[in-house]
Chains A and B, each alone.
Chain A
Amino acid sequence: MFYEVLVRGFYDANDDGTGDLKGLTSKLDYLSWLGVDCLWLLPFYQSPLRDGGYDISDFFTILPEYGDLADAVELVEQAHRRGIRVIADLVMNHTSDQHPWFQESRQDRTNPKADWYVWSDDDQRWPEARIIFVDTEKSNWTFDQTRQQYYWHRFFAHQPDLNFDHPAVADAMIDVVKFWLDVGLDGFRLDAVPYLFERDASNGENLPETHDYLKRLRAEVDASHPNKVLLAEANQWPADVVDYFGDGDECHMCFHFPLMPRMFMAVRREQRYPITEILAQTPDIPDGCQWGIFLRNHDELTLEMVTDEERDYMYAEYAKDPRMRRNIGIGRRLAPLVENDRRVAELLHAMLFSLPGSPILYYGDELLMGDNIYLGDRDGVRTPMQWSPDRNAGFSRADFAQLYLPPLMDPVYGFSGVNVEAQMRNPSSFLQWMRRMLDVRRQHPMFGTGAFEVLPAENPSVLAYVRCHEDDAGHENVVLCVNNLSRFAQPCELALGRWEGRTPVELLGRVPFPRVGALPYFVTLAPYAFYWFDLIEAQEDAP
């Protein structure tokens, strides 16, 4: 399980109102207790912070508020000691306009870094490339007064795109990667990876040149630092995303973006087709590769990879207040999205933990933390982690006014009720539930790597599937997952003939259910209920 953490928002060790690497290190025991396998850090590099750190102004320096290189080394060492790996965000496509490379490049057309960015005399080139941040940007070109030329940027105007056609740029980014692997990082989440190259008469996404570059990156990493992980952020349709796995020689993991909004849609519509439809369109991936699946993350719930009709539906259902909308998406945390319904939150996580892929959890969602849609941009979902009912949610001992963002204090999601300390003490809390689920998941490796097959069910509200894994002895281990997407109790008949004679044993309580016979297997489900069954071969009766 991956745990996505905002260093700024996790824990403040030096009382300056901003979370830091030392603070994160001091909370590793909590993360280890929860069952985290890998930490994913949002960008911690030097940055003017006009885009949450995704505007990097120096790839080799830690943002001073977060600490220094020694803190990073300490974090990685302490994490490894607990069996937790650490990966970090890396933005390869662009830099901040404050980066010295850009400052040099913009001076004139002849300086040594003149071609490190993408410049043009007019703003008419590559009209096929869409504008991603439609809320704020009018064009992918912005005029620079100093150089008297336009520069290319797929994201914000203060984030000029690097020119990967320039061999020195391509080499420089590989140096950045190796530097951090030397520090001890276990890999990277490669941000905005489809846009590295630009070509005429194309939309500038998923170009062959981009894939060639990623293959080179992978080969160089494998050669110098084996067993690292590259996770691609490519917000594309599954058929395009699989290209980022290459033939197993590109990225190890890719996010499955279209699945996430459809999980919410399926629960709202009380039918499985939004999920099964997208899974049916998801191609097989090479051995050793894995999808990264998630319910929420630091960005808006992105609706780029849905149809217009589905987007309208998602807005209508999940973002009734226009303030909840961000770019093409919905800027909310999980709990408010499901109206704080614990049953729905459990169901969604049960699916997240059992569908094919590595689950990625966003910090605070293990508490069912809320959001603050009145904060600007995406800050609404980046409020401080709620550790205890103490001052500043136990996040920081700084003055309240000094905090980077105020913690949530509303009566439903506020830190006085929703916090780690209270939920650790309460055996029936969501946090304890999630820890148990992760524990069960870890005991059954087929959740991570097993084959996946949806089982037919006449009841459209029921989503049933199996995860299968053949062990070395040739024995087929099977876990059956049955999910009720409806707010009402539902019956369901499943064709389990292939496993006739096996006994379904419910995984959380180890309660045996009636043996599978020749006839369809009948299961009843409470509202939003789910079952994980181990299908166990018949045992000899005890004498």
Chain B
Amino acid sequence: MKAEDLEGLLGGLTPLLEPYIGRQRWARHDADGAGPAAPAGRLSIAKAELLEGYEPPTLWLLVRRDGDLYQLLIGLRPEDEPLDLGERDVLGVFTAAGGTAAGGTGAEGKAWFAYDGLADAEIVRHLAAAMGVTGVEDAIVRPVGAEQSNSSVVLGQEVILKLFRRLQPGSNPDVEVSTGLDRVGFNHLASPLGVWTRDGYDLAVAQEFLAGGSEGWALALTSLRDLYASEEEDPAAAGGDFASEARRIGEMTARMHIALGKAFGVHPPALTEWANALVEQVDGLGLGPNVRRRAEELASRLVAVKDVPSIRVHGDLHLGQVMRADAGWFVLDFEGEPARPVAERRLPWPPAKDVAGMVRSFAYAAAAVLHERESSEREALEGRARAWEQRNRQAFLDGYASVEGLEAVLPEADSDTDAYGVLLDFFELDKAMYELGYERAHRPDWEPIPLAAIERLAEG
């Protein structure tokens, strides 16, 4: 097929795009993800190209939709040789519009089966090879979990290829941070193997695949399910104790922060800005005067601290972003909070922001498993949930504090100001209030989880 056929192809393909994108997890949906039903004309093709050398023919599209820019990789096979794919991966069959090239090339009038290129092992292998990944010529390709902003496939046992779906100009934060960390020798991450960059966009990244890994979240839930069903009330005595793992996660987080400081520098922060934002949040959520007092106190104490080092942070650290593998713990996905603009995600923050994120995750894990139980059982188990959270939170913080070299990214230890403690309380409160806003909008049942943290932090 020749590039001149592009126009004809697009003519037939375009009507299939919106329904296809609407089915994808990585697309931004109308309120609450209730579904697409997009009006015609809401979508436009910003760029289209038939990728050279690909067989089957592969279309690369940048599509603008509601102000977002999406990347599509679409495989084309003759209508009578379709792939056996799930509904989500299929765009449908279309007929290329009349040929534009004199004499025709055979593309016009021909019916094509269009589908997500990542579902086609041949396309994926070609793409990986084009990115400089070696040894995947015959690799088996399988999809792995869909994320909110990207889709991933695994090649063989060793390589994961991540295609960014919703694009932001400039380098992708995940690529940028993992490359930077890899450079300074931080080895608790999937090493980057290749990047696909065009027109100033990072489009895809290939990384070492952490075979045999499980998310920290899954391991934490395993521990909690064991505890809730155990004869033992005390999580330290229950067989499924998680504290040693929590401690290792803490150690890894500290090493990550030291490495981030080395790779991206240690900066002074803009303290007053976010200090004030916290107080505003309290008002917005209609929380009690005790919370407001505490927020004001934390904000003013924070501003008083002279030297708060800030670094590039993970930005969205929680149990779902760390993975246990045979060689220990690894940290995943440095994209930061996908909902925020990239420029904002690049801003330096005190590392306590990540620490608070993980600490809150322990509370959520304990609560999530509590919610699995019948409501009649929950009250009896609440003590265990609190004890588990407390034990693992402490183990995580102890592990974090135990790592040598951490002083480079923490405020000077001073018992008078306890700057680190203030920072931690501050970001934990900040995170809990963000959670409260989210739960009120989406899961009112879960409000008590952040509320409990807010009340505890308000007590000081």
A binding-site residues for B, Cβ under 8 Å: 268-271, 273, 276-277, 279-280, 309, 313, 316-317, 454-461, 486-488, 495, 497-498, 518-520
Contact = CB atoms under 8 A, between A and B. Distances in A.
Given A276-B326, A460-B219, A460-B222, A487 B212 contact: no
Contacts of B212: 276, 454-457
Given A456-B213, A497-B140, A270 B229 contact: no
A271 B219 contact: yes
Given A460-B219, A497-B142, A270 B327 contact: no
Contacts of A277: 326-327
Contacts of B142: 495, 497, 518-520
Interface in B118-146: 140, 142
A426 B337 CA distance: 61
B237 interface: yes
Given A276-B326, A495-B142, A461 B222 contact: yes
Contacts of A455: 212
Interface centre among B213, B214, B244 (most CB of A within 10 A): B214
B296 interface: no
A222 to B, nearest CB: 37
A279 B212 CA distance: 12
B235 to A, nearest CB: 12
B45 interface: no
Closest 6 CB pairs of A and B: A460-B214, A280-B326, A268-B239, A497-B140, A276-B326, A456-B211
A271 B239 contact: no
A273 B225 contact: no
Interface in B214-242: 214-215, 218-219, 222-223, 225-226, 229, 236-237, 239-241
Given A460-B222, A486-B222, A488-B229, A280 B327 contact: yes
B431 interface: no
A460 B218 contact: yes
A272 to B, nearest CB: 8
11 contacts: A268-B239, A269-B226, A273-B324, A276-B326, A277-B327, A455-B212, A486-B222, A486-B225, A486-B226, A498-B140, A520-B142
B125 to A, nearest CB: 13
Interface residues of B, number: 26
A464 B222 CA distance: 17
Given A271-B219, A271-B222, A460 B324 contact: yes
Contacts of A269: 223, 226, 239-241
Contacts of A316: 236-237
Interface in B303-327: 324, 326-327
A498 B141 CA distance: 10
Contacts of B214: 271, 273, 457-460
A180 to B, nearest CB: 41
Given A486-B225, A495-B154, 18 more contacts: A268-B240, A270-B240, A273-B214, A273-B326, A280-B326, A309-B244, A454-B212, A454-B326, A460-B214, A460-B324, A486-B226, A487-B226, A488-B225, A488-B229, A495-B142, A497-B140, A498-B140, A520-B142
Given A270-B222, A270-B226, A458-B215, A313 B241 contact: yes
Contacts of A268: 239-240
A316 B214 CA distance: 26
Nearest to A268: B239
A254 B193 CA distance: 39
A461 B221 CA distance: 11
Interface string B32-60: 00000000000000000000000000000
Given A268-B239, A495-B142, A520-B142, A313 B218 contact: no
Interface centre among A269, A276, A309, A518 (most CB of B within 10 A): A269
A280 B327 CA distance: 8
Contacts of A460: 214, 218-219, 222, 324
A309 to B, nearest CB: 6
B250 to A, nearest CB: 14
A269 B237 CA distance: 11
A520 B143 CA distance: 9
Interface centre among B225, B229, B240 (most CB of A within 10 A): B240
Contacts of B223: 269-270
A458 B320 CA distance: 12
Contacts of A520: 142
A459 B324 CA distance: 11
Contacts of B324: 273, 460
A375 to B, nearest CB: 27
A339 B150 CA distance: 47
Contacts of A457: 212, 214
Contacts of A317: 239
A484 to B, nearest CB: 12
B161 to A, nearest CB: 15
Nearest to B216: A460
A270 B224 CA distance: 11
A269 B226 CA distance: 8
A92 B235 CA distance: 46
Contacts of B326: 273, 276-277, 279-280, 454
A238 to B, nearest CB: 13
Contacts of A270: 222-223, 226, 239-240
Interface in B79-121: 84
Contacts of B218: 458-460
